[in-house]
Amino acid sequence: MFSRHFLIDKILPIKCLTNIIQYCTISMQMRMIIKFIQGGNMKLDEVITKRIVKIDQINIQGVHRKRLQEMGLIPGKKIYVQKFAPLGNPMEIKINGQSISIRNEEAHLIEVSDAHE
C-alpha cells in the first residue's frame, strides 16, 4: 500500500509537528499550573478559567485606573475568572458577584496570584 518513503516523507513530519504542538500546549498548561502551585505572580489574561485569583498589582494609571477602581478592581480584591468570549477576547470576570467584561489587553496589566487556600 504505502511505500516506506511515503511514510517517512509525509506521515512522519506531520506526526512530529503534532507532537511538538501537543508538547507545547501541555507544557504551557503545566507552567501555569506550576505557577499556581508556587503562588507566583501572573497576568490576569493568562489565568485558566473557573478560578479565583487575588489582585496583587494594577499596572494601569490615569483614567483607566479610575474605571477599574469604580468597578471594584483594586489590589487585594479576589476575582473569579469566568470565561473568554468566543473569539478569545475579551474575558468575563466576576467581582462582588457581578459579571464584568474586560479586554485581555487590560487584563494583561493586572497581576494576580492564586487565591485558593
Residue selected from 82, 110, 111, 117 as contacting other proteins according to rule CB under 8 A:
82
Is 43 a binding residue for other proteins by CB under 8 A? The answer is no
Report the residue from 1, 5, 70, 116 that binds other proteins according to the rule CB under 8 A.
70
Q: Is 115 in the site for other proteins (CB under 8 A)?
A: no
Q: How many C-alpha atoms does 78 have within 13 Å on its Cβ side?
A: 8
Determine the 3-state secondary structure of 95 from DSSP.
strand
Q: Is 90 near other proteins (CB under 8 A)?
A: yes
Report residue 92: phi and psi, to 5°: -110, 130
DSSP letter string over 38-94?
Answer: HT--EEGGGSPSSEEEEEEEE---HHHHHHHHHTT--TT-EEEEEEE-TTS-SEEEE
Between 38 and 57, whose beta carbon lies closer to other proteins? Answer: 57
Q: How far is the CB of 78 from other proteins (least distance, A)?
A: 8
Q: Give the residues lining the site for other proteins (CB under 8 A).
A: 52, 61-72, 74-78, 80, 82-90, 92, 94, 96-103, 106
